[in-house]
Structure 1
Amino acid sequence: MGQTYTLTFPVEEADIRKLALGDMVYLDGEIVMTAGLPTHQRIMKCLEDGTALPTDLTNAGFFHLGSYNTEDNGAFDVLYLNPTTSTRFNPYMPTLIRAFGLRAVGGKGGLDAACAQAMKEVGCVYLSFLGGGCTVLSEAIREVVSVSWNDMISHYRIVKLRVEQLGPLTVAIDAHGNSLYDTLQAKAEQAMPKILDDLRAARAASASTDKP
């Protein structure tokens, strides 16, 4: 069982480096979120062109979170948020982690080894959000700080929120290259031969008892 921490953004690299796999984290302060693949592609284009982003991502917490939003006379309100799958952003995240020195990323499903290497280099962790936990997670929303790229559908926009005690979140990839996803995959692969042998034995036993 890991330890429990509260991280307040902006957060120092040393506070990220001390986190270990399995630690539980709550977030305070300002975070940035989007659920959009086109959003990541546009960020990459800005980096290629040297164009400044409308929201500064330097040392930020950048999370793959979808949301249900309303707009009234130009006022944007986030009614709830929920994690979306991070693995589809694998091609972009190593570049974004390095370019902005991201301190925390997250969503659900994890990121690949190339992303974990980038996190190790800059001091960044992957935080696993509770899938289907929108009711608990949404209680942490305190303020919509800014909304950028309003030409996109609402949950693809870059949204900066001020949150209080957002969580609980699990450190699933730490800032030293360790990944719970890799560990679980290795355990599954190790267990698979015995599982298959047991199934074959059970099938053979069932076939022998069925003979007249």
Structure 2
Amino acid sequence: MEKRLNVPITDENLNELKAGDVIYLTGNILTARDQAHKRIIDQGAPLDIEGAAIFHAGPIISENDGEYDMVAIGPTTSMRMNPYQGDVLDMGPKIIIGKGGMDDTVREALIRNDALYVVATGGCAALYVDAVEKIESVDWLDLGMPEAMWNLKVKDFGPLIVAMDSKGNSLYD
């Protein structure tokens, strides 16, 4: 199945999506890597993450007089977020985007929260950047540009493959 979803997810039923399905996202996605995940748990998120799509990515950004432009954005290895992802999922995000799979604690959190882990193809940073319409905001720049939380307005961001669904199915099994 191929499906187009608007984010944040409000009343979409993600239960109908299963491992192997392809999705595209329109709306806003947030980037977050290790340090941002840790800070979300320690301090709370700087933005509302209810229904959010969180992308494990360290984008390449150019800055000119306080204006930011997206140069490239591709997935980073998700397993680094395993220690934090379950707790963050319990705070309301519905879609986690990354690469390389996640562990059983995350699988349990996906089931518990009716959420999905979807994979973006590594090496396609130039393709994904074309779907970024605008950088809406950035938080936690003190963590460094790749670790900061970027709020991106996207249109038809994908293709993304459902790798772990809300029923516990995983393409990694």
**TM-score normalised by length of structure 2:** 0.95
CA root-mean-square deviation = 1.2
For residues 69 and 135 of structure 1, the distance between their equivalents in structure 2, rounded to whole angstroms, comes to: 13
For residues 54 and 92 of structure 1, the distance between their equivalents in structure 2, rounded to whole angstroms, comes to: 16
Pick one of 35, 56, 66 that aligns with 1:64: 56
Q: Which residue of 2 aligns with 1:156?
A: 147
Q: Give runs of aligned pairs for residues 26-175 of structure 1, distance below 5 A.
A: 26-34=24-32, 36-46=33-43, 52-98=44-90, 100-175=91-166
SS at match of 2:18: coil
For residues 153 and 13 of structure 2, the distance between their equivalents in structure 1, rounded to whole angstroms, comes to: 19
Q: CA deviation at 1:13?
A: 5.2
> How many residues are aligned here?
173
Q: Which amino acid aligns with 2:98?
A: G
Q: Which residue of 2 aligns with 1:180?
A: 171
Q: Which has the higher helix share?
A: 1
Q: Which runs of 5 or more structure 1 residues have no equivalent in the other structure?
A: 47-51, 183-212
For residues 56 and 30 of structure 1, the distance between their equivalents in structure 2, rounded to whole angstroms, comes to: 11
Q: Which runs of 5 or more structure 2 residues have no equivalent in the other structure?
A: none
Q: Which amino acid aligns with 1:136?
A: L
Q: CA deviation at 1:16?
A: 1.4
CA contact (8 A) 1:76 1:147 kept: no
Q: Which amino acid aligns with 1:165?
A: D
For residues 14 and 150 of structure 1, the distance between their equivalents in structure 2, rounded to whole angstroms, comes to: 32
Greater than 6 Å deviation, 4+ residue runs = none
Work out which of the two has the higher radius of gyration on C-alpha atoms and give 1 or 2.
Answer: 1
Q: Which amino acid aligns with 2:15?
A: R
SS at match of 2:154: strand
Q: Deviations over 1:19-71 (max 9, x none)?
A: 0110011111111112x32222222211xxxxx43222122111101211011
CA contact (8 A) 1:13 1:103 kept: no
CA contact (8 A) 1:97 1:122 kept: yes
- Work out which structure has the larger RCO, using CA pairs closer than 8 Å and 6 or more positions apart in sequence: 2
Q: Which amino acid aligns with 1:41?
A: K
